[in-house]
Chain A
Amino acid sequence: MSHIISVKRAHGIVVEGEVLVMREGFSPRYDLDRISGVISRIGHSVEGESVSNKILVIPTVKGGVAGGWAFFDLLYKKIAPKALIFGKLNPVMVQGAVLAGMTITEGWSEDLLQILNNGDQLRIDPEKKQLEILIK
């Protein structure tokens, strides 16, 4: 039986893909090398990992207005993540995701940091406000 998790808010299209699970807050300005798409902040929980084509699972945000342009810039450079799954977000992440046509959700009914690991497969259905774990 599949594992379904509800989210509080969602926007975008149905997306499936591999997750990259961050264990701390995220800012594309503070944490990401926006030329290579690799997490470059020293000591970040996913330092050295690429965000390209991944579903990012992010508990909280740090900063920052950079996300308003940054996701669209990453898309333009063909190194954008596929979707953003936030525990708590700020408006900039939504503004940035809408501009980039990227699926985004906020709030989760179970603690995804306890459930998901890097490489797990996830399906996001924004209209139903649901996440489905496909492969663990």
Chain B
Amino acid sequence: MILNDLELAMLRGDHGEAVKESIEFQIEVGSFFEAKEFVPITNAHVMGDIEVMGDGGLEILEKFASDKAHCRVPTSSNARCMHFGDFDNLKADEVEVKKEKKLIGYLKDMNIAQTDSCINYQTVYQPKLGEHVAWGDTGTVIYANSVLGARTNYEGGKASFAAALTGRTPAYGFHLDEYRKGSFLVNLETQLTDLAEWGALGKIVGHSHQDYSAVPVIDGIKEVPFSDSLKHLGASLASYGSLAMFHMVGVTPEARSQKDAFKGEPPKEVMTVTKNDIDGVFTAYQYKAGGNNIVVFSGPQLSLFEIQNLVSLFDGRKVHPDMSVVITTNHAVYSDALRLGYIGILESAGVQVLQGVCFYILQRLSDIRKENNWTNLISNSGKLVNTITAHRFNTVLRRTKDCVDIACTGELK
């Protein structure tokens, strides 16, 4: 990689040991992808919680903090693995709670804004068309690339911290024009009305194209989708396919037309998605008998408008005694929802609302599942029903209103 004077100074250690270690790491990663240079970034979003990084990762952050590491660009934190509230059925290990609090202290030392959010693009920072960022959560990455027209790769683990400390990232993948053109066409022959249907579309397209370099171009949308719809589509594409970008003709900024999205080249493949295909995703999920069940609205965290919709569906109803219901969101949305009276209505119905976490990354989740005797996990999130499977839930995707009905009646339909 060709380095400028500032980057050479970082590599020499002129900007401290943490920056030196970070840029060395970035050069190793960049060299794998044959990056020729770095690109400056305006914003970083880091993923660091004790469940995923473990004691080894904690030691790295401890060292960064002791080296007086300080973010070079505004930086936010992703959803974390524990809620520090009073929910006895979702408790984290006490030892891990102490580590998580220590870890949060290191983030503060590094001047990372502890937003604990995987929807930073809805509530924290919205980069502009062509703006380079380094974001460490797949759902945030695909939203940034696709909906905002910003430019980022998946920046996992130490990579997102390194980018925050150096203010740059190796120029490969979705930072480059040639990576961003569409590769295959998805003709959508139905209109999607529920967030779960957007997730189902993401599953159909993503599962059949597990390729980070693939960029689907979705055509056939008749009405402008809401941000939450594109959020669920993107999160699902990223989850099933490890995809980092999609185009939607007439909707996303680099796809004013099909020709624009494909940069004048023909699609390598054309696929069609019909109403039957979408319905088939739902019917393929089957319930297992035995135990209790849980309905979860999470993955990604909910926006204020998603919570508002759930308030209208739960208002005046009660969660069935055999069911549990969990919603997760970030601190910013939670605060607004509390002020607006939404949290009170949900809690009166028997819903648990967690802030600053995402359900599938909860610390000791396998044990929590066993302790609560949960068998089926029902959700309107196409992503969640895929990401949580290592914990041996039987997952079922259902439309939002159906999820609420299941939660309040206990009938697994």
Contacts and interface: CB of A to CB of B under 8 A. Distances in A.
Interface of A: 9, 11, 25, 27, 29-34, 40-42, 59-70, 72-73, 75-77, 88-92, 94-96, 98-99, 104
Contacts of A41: 389-390, 392
A73 B49 CA distance: 12
Given A69-B52, A77-B54, A90 B136 contact: no
B53 A40 contact: no
Given A61-B212, A62-B386, A91-B33, A69 B154 contact: no
B56 A73 contact: yes
Nearest to A41: B389
Interface string B38-59: 0000000001100011111100
B78 to A, nearest CB: 8
B239 interface: yes
Scoring B153, B157, B366, B386 by chain A CB atoms within 10 A of each residue's CB, the highest score goes to B157
B390 A65 contact: no
Nearest to A72: B56
Contacts of B158: 68-69, 72, 95, 99
A51 B57 CA distance: 20
Contacts of A31: 389-390
Given A61-B242, A90-B212, A30 B25 contact: no
Q: Taking chain A's interface residues, is the majority helix, strand, or loop, or is none over half, making it mixed? A: mixed
A95 B155 contact: yes
Contacts of B265: none
A63 B242 contact: yes
B160 interface: yes
A98 B24 CA distance: 11
Scoring A62, A64, A68 by chain B CB atoms within 10 A of each residue's CB, the highest score goes to A68
B136 A29 contact: no
A73 B54 contact: yes
Given A29-B387, A64-B239, A65-B136, A96 B156 contact: yes
Interface of B: 25, 28-29, 31-33, 47-48, 52-57, 136-138, 153-160, 172-173, 210-213, 238-242, 244, 360-361, 366, 386-392, 394
A65 B242 contact: no
9 closest A-B pairs by beta carbon, nearest first, are A68-B156, A68-B157, A76-B56, A73-B54, A92-B156, A60-B210, A65-B156, A90-B212, A69-B157
A33 B391 CA distance: 8
A102 B333 CA distance: 40
A39 to B, nearest CB: 8
A32 B25 contact: no
13 contacts: A25-B210, A27-B387, A41-B389, A60-B210, A60-B242, A64-B242, A67-B157, A69-B47, A75-B56, A91-B29, A91-B33, A91-B155, A96-B156
Contacts, number: 149
Nearest to B241: A62
Contacts of A62: 210, 239-242, 386
A94 B387 contact: no
Nearest to A59: B210
Contact of A68 (B33, B136, B239): B136
A68 B160 contact: yes
B47 A68 contact: yes
A63 B238 contact: yes
Contacts of A65: 47, 136-138, 154-157, 160
A9 B212 CA distance: 15
A108 to B, nearest CB: 15
A89 B157 contact: no
Contacts of B57: 69, 72-73
Contact of A30 (B155, B238, B386): B386
B53 to A, nearest CB: 4
Contacts of A67: 156-157
Given A66-B52, A68-B158, A99-B25, A91 B239 contact: no
B244 A90 contact: yes
Contacts of A70: 52, 157
A32 B366 CA distance: 12
A42 to B, nearest CB: 6
Nearest to A31: B390
Contacts of B159: 68, 91-92, 95
A98 B25 contact: yes
Nearest to B240: A62
Given A29-B361, A62-B210, A72-B56, 17 more contacts: A9-B32, A30-B387, A33-B390, A34-B390, A40-B392, A61-B210, A64-B138, A65-B136, A65-B137, A68-B136, A68-B156, A69-B47, A76-B54, A89-B212, A90-B244, A91-B155, A95-B158
